[in-house]
Homo-oligomer: A and B are copies of this chain.
Amino acid sequence: MNLDQQILTALHAAAAVGVSGAELSQRLNVSRAAIWARIEDLRALGYEIDASPHRGYRLCGVPDLLHADDLLSRLGPTRVIGRDIRVFQETSSTNDVVDKLARDGVPEGVVVFAESQTRGRGRLGRKWLSPAGRGLWFSVLLRPNLRPQAATQMTIATALAVARAIQQQTGLLPGIKWPNDILLQGRKTAGILTELSAELDHIKYLVLGIGVDVNLAAHEFPADLRKLATSLRIEAGRTLNRADLAIAILRALDDDYARITSGQFEAVANEWAERCTTLGQPVTIHIGDRRLHGRAEALDEDGALLLRTEHGRLERVIGGDVTMEK
């Protein structure tokens, strides 16, 4: 932990009680002047830090911005996800940043956030709107010991983690549309882009890209998306703290990743199925030029969708665009 992170950890722990400059200085083994300088910098970033002779420093408010030290200090120790967190003000695409880190040999678990993306993308190279400060746009590097065809397991786990975290932070109950959309009131509020680098029988690394429309107002969506997309703010009727949500997602994802790497995908899949709006429904799935009609029956052990077609055959579907026939 660097000094900013140590100070923020101490301030969060002290909460309303506060902590004196003398105590911070002794505990962190730096001068009181150095503490003061860091506090000033944190204030400049938007942290409201009260200083009084009696109560010392108290954290009264945190800014709605993503700060790697703050996220790391509040996330605390995890198994894998978030051992390293990096925040960019702007980048082309966080998936591209993580892909580069992966090729440079960075260990799994690193998480890259961007306040805004200039070339955010969804599946099949589709554009993903990522305006500054309005959402969570981030990517996670994993190096699971899985065959490429089991990568869908991680998309399933991520959708579940995002849905659980949204419910915890907002009280809303999100639905999951297979394979990678998180819906509120039938409108998309988060999406997942899974990209992998692999040999035929072996994943070299996997990049999970996660986009959550947190605080966008209705007018910030392009007109053609307003019926299809929504934000947590619109649905919850209040502005949400993005860092709180980010931490909740990372913790949930850390739990689900541990379950998958220890062979408990079935438990993850069962929880996912409870939230899934696709299973049991008649659906149409577009895969490139192909179109499949049928009833979505279940996930198989790789996370693929088993579709009972009109002709009674069971088809195994990996990706594609799902339309509900209702």
Contact = CB atoms under 8 A, between A and B. Distances in A.
A198 B198 contact: yes
B124 A199 contact: yes
Contacts of A196: 148, 197-200
A145 B202 contact: no
A18 interface: no
Contact of A198 (B148, B201, B287, B320): B148
Contacts of A132: none
A50 B123 CA distance: 59
A231 interface: no
B198 A123 contact: no
B145 A148 contact: no
Given A148-B148, A149-B148, A149-B149, A200 B318 contact: yes
Interface residues of A, number: 26
Given A145-B288, A288-B145, A200 B151 contact: yes
Given A145-B288, A147-B318, A318-B147, A200 B124 contact: no
Contacts of A202: 123-124, 319
Contacts of A230: none
A200 B156 CA distance: 12
Provide the main secondary structure of the chain A interface: mixed
B195 A319 contact: no
Interface in A304-326: 318-320
A195 to B, nearest CB: 6
A199 to B, nearest CB: 6
A155 interface: yes
A194 interface: yes
Interface string A149-167: 1011001000000000000
A267 to B, nearest CB: 21
Query: Chain B CB within 10 Å — which of A124, A179, A202, A287 has the most?
Result: A202
B198 A195 contact: yes
A245 interface: no
